[in-house]
Every structure is written in C-alpha cells, then in structure tokens.
Amino acid sequence: MKRFSRLSIAAIALSGLFLAARPVLARELAGVSLPDTLSAGEKTLKLNGLGLRKKAIFKVYVGGLYLEAPSKDAAAILAADAPKAVRMHFLRDLKKSQLTDGFSEGFEANAKEKAAAQKAALDKMLALVPDVKEGETMSFVYVPGKGTTLFSGDKALGTFEGKDFADVVFLLWLGPKPPSEDLKKGMLG
C-alpha cells in the first residue's frame, strides 16, 4: 500500500478547497455577489444565473434569477406556475423615472397585449418604484396563490395578485427582447 506524505495530503486537501470554492466565484459578476438562495413564501429558491444589464457603455445592474430547480428554458420558466424571483443589484444611482421608463419600455417590447390587460396593476407597481443608489437592491418575487411582491432591499413595497401579472414582470428579462441578450443569457445560466 502506497503511503502519502503529509505534504501530499495537504496538497490534496488544498486542491479540494479550491474546487469547493469555484461555485462561489460563479455567483459573482462585475464585483457584485448575490446570495445563493432567496426565500419565496415557504420555498427556498436557488440562484439560477447572473447577468449584467448595460445601457450604452454604462453598467446599470447585476441581475440574478432565482428558481426552485435550475433551468435554461425561458419559455418553461415563464409557463410554470412556480415560485421565482429576480434580484437587481444596482451599480449606479438611478432616478425613479429612469427605472420606470426602462420597465415600461420592457413591457411594451415583450408583453404588449398582456401588459395592456394588467395596466392598472402595472401603474400601481410603477408608482411604488423608488430612486435607487449604487449598491442597493430591488427584487420581484412571485409566489403562486399570493402574487408578485416588489422589494426595495428587504422592504416589501407592494404585492400584486395573479400569475398573469407575474408573467408580464418576468417577461422583462426572459422575453424575446430583454434589456440585453447578455443579461438574459447570464440569468439562464
């Protein structure tokens, strides 16, 4: 039987630490780390992927998509009446008007008819969107039977009922015309 020296054992253990640490690095993008999990009602969602939202040359936010089970299929994610969440970690200060204009453009580009049917609820949601500072987060968390809750940091700003409303919101990132293809691809892992 071959004996291992203490140095060999230490090297093997150290390489195991590096391999164990690799998934943590996959959870960081543009200097931003998002949590591996988020709570959605009674469920724990896992980070599916991270993407970077850019506008022209500016980095705007790192977005993370959270699901119960990993998926690369945007259509299946949208079709499922299952908990899901998107967290945005902002890389710059943005005024409410910049955010609401961006969301409105996304609704128009990805869910025009569905957004029209949800206009009253979307208007209420957009009214709740605050100004954000660099380093702050905003999240949309959907729980079947409860609705979609808008969070600023850990503070719930409002909840909007129905899967149809959630579909419009999540189409912003997972629809045919996301804010950027890199953002969508990153969120889908």
10 domain residue, yes or no:
no
172 domain residue, yes or no:
yes
71 domain residue, yes or no:
yes
Exposure class string for 117-135: b at 16+ Cβ within 10 A, else e: ebeebbeebbeebbebeee
13 domain residue, yes or no:
no
3-state SS assignment for residue 33: strand
Which residues, at least 6 apart from 10, have a Cβ–Cβ distance to it below 8 Å?
Answer: none
9 domain residue, yes or no:
no
Prediction pTM value = 0.85
Residue 170 burial class via C-beta count within 10 angstroms: exposed 0-12, middle 13-18, buried 19 and up: buried
The CATH number of residue 100's host domain is 3.50.70.10
17 domain residue, yes or no:
no
81 domain residue, yes or no:
yes
pLDDT, tens digit only, all 189 positions of the chain:
445 444 444 334 433 433 333 333 347 999 999 999 999 999 999 999 999 999 888 999 999 999 999 999 999 999 999 999 999 999 999 999 999 999 999 999 999 999 999 999 999 999 999 999 999 999 999 999 999 999 999 999 999 999 999 999 999 999 999 999 999 999 999
Domain extent at residue 101: 28-187
Q: Which pair of structure tokens corresponds to residue 82?
A: 């299952």
4 domain residue, yes or no:
no
